[in-house]
Amino acid sequence: MAGDESNGKPQGAEGALIPSSPSEIAFVQGLVARGEAVKVAPGAPLPPGATHEIVGETPSGVPIVKRRRFSLR
């Protein structure tokens, strides 16, 4: 359910991380800066190195992300 908290992180529909605190915003911005969070077409695979899909945006413009896989590093 949108707005529920699981493991201390605000989550939206289907487990998406909706960043609201400064640390969550910094985490998401870091994912984007490193290329670990990307926008993809619906149903398309993630490119190599990406672990999160950008599924939306907060009213302030911060990406909303959903983990799709784990890094092999």
- The angle subtended at Cα 24 by Cα 60 and Cα 64, nearest 5°, is 55
At residue 18, the 3 state secondary structure works out as: coil
End-to-end Cα distance, the chain: 32
Condensed to tens digits (0 to 9), the pLDDT of residues 28-51 reads 999 999 999 999 998 899 999 999
At residue 32, the 3 state secondary structure works out as: helix
Q: What is the pLDDT of residue 73?
A: 64
Residue 1 has pLDDT above 50, yes or no: no
Residue 4 has pLDDT above 60, yes or no: no
Q: What is the pLDDT of residue 71?
A: 80
User: Domain limits of the chain?
Assistant: 4-67
